[in-house]
């Protein structure tokens, strides 16, 4: 099907039978097309073509990136601020322009600047929050960032679905509501240990995807919870034992279907997580369908990284049997650096 666009709604066009005029499209379909375009594309392509399009553009909640967009629309659905000099533009926005805001991404800002931004928006309607890397050096900055993270995670009791922290988790679990039911995606740089991690998970019963690293071992047993996590990307401490990992996965991640274990091993470090295939199989949750033992290369070892990229990972399917005797296959990917360990008897 071909489309022809008329710049004037009353201008007659001669079209073939297999052609459809843009003006024949419903407003709902046009708005759906806008969802796939940037703010600049929408304005440069459709603005001032006809009255109806102008009305739709003015009422449509746009995605605004202050790095690349000079136009400030009447309604903003998502907002991205990546530099402190953009704050002047942000604080010039009217409250009505932010009334439709559902997503916000903030990067390269001080904690106190993030606090000032959050004061200007209606937080309870946010569905997506991304907090990029920002300096937390100094006791006051860390305290403010802890408050910011707590404030954001609290939105999980309203509409917040996805949350990204590009800093370590600083929040105390007791400062959160008992249930953060709307959260289904959580990504953060690191958490202190598996016990604290499991405490947070216990308050997010509808969480499906989570990614983090664990900094230290714990002597405490993970607390039981009713999470429904299906996707987990985890970087455990290199001295984490199979028993500790097994306990966490089976207690807290019994519904897990996809598991990625990321390891970044330095030449001088020992990693006891490099146990063999059969030891890994004993800690797999029953429903697991995908497992990747992934090597994160040392960023300072360029030559080593290039040679490692040339090595193919091991791929195989493994039959797993659940506790109720149901059988299914799990796709396994083992990066080249771990193949010898995986295959050893």
DSSP string of 254-313, one letter each residue: TT--EEEEEE---TT---TT---HHHHHHHS-TT--EEEEEE---TT-HHHHHHHHTSPP
Contacts of residues 29-38 at CB distance under 8 Å and 24 or more positions apart, as own/partner, are: 30/56, 31/56, 31/60, 34/60, 38/63, 38/68, 38/69
Instruction: Tell me the two tokens of residue 40.
Output: 């600049």
Structure tokens at 277: 């295939």
pLDDT at residue 144, as a whole number: 92
Give just the sign of the alpha carbon dihedral 70, 73, 79, 84: positive
CA distance linking residue 294 with residue 307, whole number of Å = 16
Distance separating the N- and C-terminal Cα atoms of the chain: 61
Spatial neighbors of 252 by CB under 8 A, at least 6 apart, are: 198, 201, 202, 222, 224, 225, 227, 229
> Per the structure block, which two tokens stand in for 254?
């019994």
What is the pLDDT at residue 235?
A: 93
Q: Which tokens is 249 given?
A: 């996965």
325 conformational bin, left if phi > 0, alpha if psi -120 to 50, beta if neither: left
**Residue of 111, 201, 211, 106 lying closest to 156 (CA atoms):** 201
Q: How many CA atoms lie within 13 A of 38 on its CB side?
A: 11
pTM for the full predicted model: 0.81
Give the DSSP H/E element, type plus range, for residue 141: helix 139-153
The pLDDT value recorded for residue 7 is 46
CA distance 129 to 106: 8
Residue ranges in the chain modelled with pLDDT below 50 = 1-9, 11, 13, 302-303, 306
- Say which residues have a Cβ less than 8 Å from residue 194's Cβ, sequence separation at least 6: 214, 218, 222, 236, 240, 244, 248
Report the SS3 class of residue 124: helix
Position 27 scores a pLDDT of 77
């Amino acid at each position: 099907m071909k489309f022809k666009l008329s710049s004037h709604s009353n201008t007659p066009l001669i079209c073939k039978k297999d052609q459809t005029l843009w003006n024949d499209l419903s407003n709902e379909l046009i708005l759906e097309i806008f969802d796939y375009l940037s703010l600049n594309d929408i304005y440069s392509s459709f603005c001032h073509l006809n009255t109806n399009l102008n009305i739709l553009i003015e009422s449509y909640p746009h995605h605004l990136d202050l790095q690349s967009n000079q136009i400030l629309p009447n309604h903003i659905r998502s907002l991205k601020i990546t530099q402190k000099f953009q704050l002047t533009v942000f604080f010039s926005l009217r409250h009505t322009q932010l009334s439709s805001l559902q997503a916000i991404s903030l990067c390269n800002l001080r904690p106190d600047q993030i606090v000032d931004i959050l004061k200007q928006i209606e937080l309870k309607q946010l569905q997506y929050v991304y907090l990029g890397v920002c300096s937390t050096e100094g006791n006051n900055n860390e305290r403010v960032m802890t408050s910011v993270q707590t404030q954001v995670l609290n939105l999980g009791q309203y509409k917040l679905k996805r949350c990204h922290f590009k800093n370590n988790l600083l929040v105390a679990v007791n400062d959160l509501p008992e249930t953060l039911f709307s959260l289904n995606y959580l990504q953060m740089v690191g958490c202190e240990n598996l016990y604290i991690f499991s405490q947070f998970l216990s308050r997010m019963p509808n969480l499906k995807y989570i990614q983090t690293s664990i900094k230290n071992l714990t002597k405490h047993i993970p607390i039981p919870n009713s999470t429904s996590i299906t996707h987990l990307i985890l970087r455990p401490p290199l001295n984490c034992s199979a028993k500790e990992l097994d306990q966490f996965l089976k207690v807290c991640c019994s519904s897990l279907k996809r598991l990625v274990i990321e390891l970044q091993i330095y030449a001088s470090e020992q990693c006891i997580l490099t146990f063999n295939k059969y030891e890994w199989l004993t800690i797999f949750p029953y429903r697991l369908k995908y497992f990747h033992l992934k090597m994160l290369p040392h960023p300072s070892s360029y030559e080593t990284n290039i040679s490692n990229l040339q090595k193919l990972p091991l791929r195989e399917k493994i039959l797993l049997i659940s506790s109720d005797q149901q059988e299914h296959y799990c796709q396994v990917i083992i990066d080249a650096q771990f193949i010898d360990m995986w295959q050893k008897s």
